[in-house]
Amino acid sequence: MVTHTTTSVVTIERFIIEQERLHPEASGELSGLLYDLALAAKMIASKVRMAGIADILGATDHENVQGEVQQKLDVISNEIMIKALDHGGRLCCMASEEEPDMIPIPEKFKTGNYALLFDPLDGSSNIDVNVPVGTIFSIVRKISPGKRGTMEDLLQPGRRQVAAGYVIYGSSTMLVYSTGQGAHGFTLDPSIGEFLLSHPNIRTPDRGKFLSVNDAYEAVWTDEVKTLMRHYRGLEGDRGAMNVRYVGSLVADFHRNLLGGGVFVYPSNGKSPRGKLRLLYEANPLAFICEQAGGKASDGTQRILDVNPTELHQRTPLYMGSKLDVELADRVLSGIATAV
């Protein structure tokens, strides 16, 4: 691991190169892909910043595959991701939360050894009220034979990710990514258009301050989930009460909890037995980052990164964040123990 202090100025490009040097066998393909993602992030950031001014707010008429009305910026961000990444020769295929099927690499472009899955704009229903939104990405190695990718490449368990990350378009734009050697954060300096290393080697506290959950669903939670919430609120066991913070943008809730310590919870419930969040575009990449920062992520029965996906838009219950708080969730939900 190359160590940096926050006082030295390190661009994301230089950081990626330095990380690559740790792997003499690396072809540079993954580094190139990460550059392209940083470029796409800057392009989306500029659109998000201009949203109010350019009068591109509001919903389009189209519904996405999840049956949700797409915001215009969802469509734009999806387009930016595809156009920034389809021609670099590093990908064999892609998948997006906003597209029903696999996104093939056009025949006119070369293909590469990786597959990319992404949520182009997470939390998009919050755009109209100026709440942070984000982009989430997951990179896996191509495993299918032949040049073009197949569903086999996309439907891999999260532990096989070679890199994952997210971008948060908040009061500043930050990109956090990991290639399995710690999680590192970069802040966009808009005056020079560069992501600069601002949060090297992020570590999340073992015990969290914040509980992020939408408790409007309380009436449809299972008894085990209700018990877990009593623990988190200090009404049962000896964990002590957490503060509740819920933005409703997964990236924003996750980012705050990653830095400050906390747990993000989106359980299954009577209405949605698999919860709401998508395994491949949301849970897997954030679980990868979370583990790299010393945290944990579970679906209540197993480690998120060990779930074998069977379909692109599969949903999963999610308990993710500070290690001890996720372990408490696993124990309470399995009925093994209730004490911390």
Return residues touching ligand AHG (CB under 6 A).
Answer: 68, 97, 119, 122-125, 214, 248-250, 276
CB of 201 to ligand AHG, least distance (A): 26
Handedness of CA 84, 87, 88, 91 (dihedral sign): positive
Q: Exactly one of 20, 36, 86, 119 binds Mn ion (CB under 5 A); which one?
A: 119
Q: Which region, judged by CB under 5 A, interacts with Mn ion, from 26-34, 112-120, 147-155, 165-173? A: 112-120
**How many residues appear in the chain?**
340
Site string for Mn ion, 70-109 (x = CB under 5 A): ---------------------------x------------
Backbone phi, psi, residue 29, to 5°: -65, -45
CB nearer to ligand AHG: give 10 or 76. 76
Q: Which is nearer to ligand AHG, 97 or 325 (CB)?
A: 97
- Smallest gap from Cβ 121 to Mn ion, in A, equals 5
E strands, the chain, where? 59-63, 69-71, 91-96, 103-104, 114-122, 133-141, 161-169, 173-178, 184-189, 194-199, 210-212, 243-244, 262-266, 296-298, 318-321
CA angle 183, 91, 190 (to 5 degrees): 50
Output the smallest distance, CB 75 to ligand AHG, in A. Answer: 13
End-to-end CA distance of the chain: 34
| Residues paired with 315 in a beta bridge | 278
Q: Which does 317 bind (CB under 5 to 8 A by kind): ligand AHG, Mn ion, none?
A: none
Distance CA 98, CA 79 (A): 10
Binding-site partner at residue 248 among Mn ion, ligand AHG, none, CB < 5 to 8 Å by type: ligand AHG
Question: Smallest distance from the beta carbon of 82 to ligand AHG, in angstroms?
Answer: 16
* Residue whose CB is less far from ligand AHG, 34 or 320: 320
For the CB of residue 168, give the shortest distance to ligand AHG in the complex, in Å: 11
Q: Give the shortest CB-26-to-ligand AHG separation in angstroms.
A: 32
The encoded tokens of residue 197 equal 């290393």
- Residue 276 touches which of Mn ion, ligand AHG, none (Cβ within 5-8 Å per kind): ligand AHG
Q: Which is nearer to ligand AHG, 92 or 247 (CB)?
A: 247
Find the Cα–Cα–Cα–Cα dihedral 156, 162, 168, 174, rounded to 10°.
Answer: 180
Helices (H) and strands (E) in the chain, counts: 8, 15
How is residue 73 written in tokens?
């910026």
Partner in contact with 312, chosen from ligand AHG, Mn ion, none, beta carbon below 5 to 8 Å by kind = none
Which CB sits closer to ligand AHG, 29 or 68? Answer: 68
From the CB of 66, what's the least distance to Mn ion, in Å? 9
| DSSP structure class, residue 235 | S
* Per-residue buried b or exposed e for 246-265, using 16+ beta carbons within 10 Å of the residue's own CB: bbebbbbbbbbbbbbbbbbb
Residue 253 found at the interface with Mn ion (CB under 5 A): no
Tell me whether residue 133 or residue 293 sits nearer to Mn ion (CB atom): 133
Q: Per CB under 5 A, does 122 bind Mn ion?
A: yes
Beta carbon nearer to Mn ion, 18 or 311? 311
Strands 243-244 and 262-266: unpaired
Interface residues toward Mn ion, by CB under 5 A: 97, 119, 122
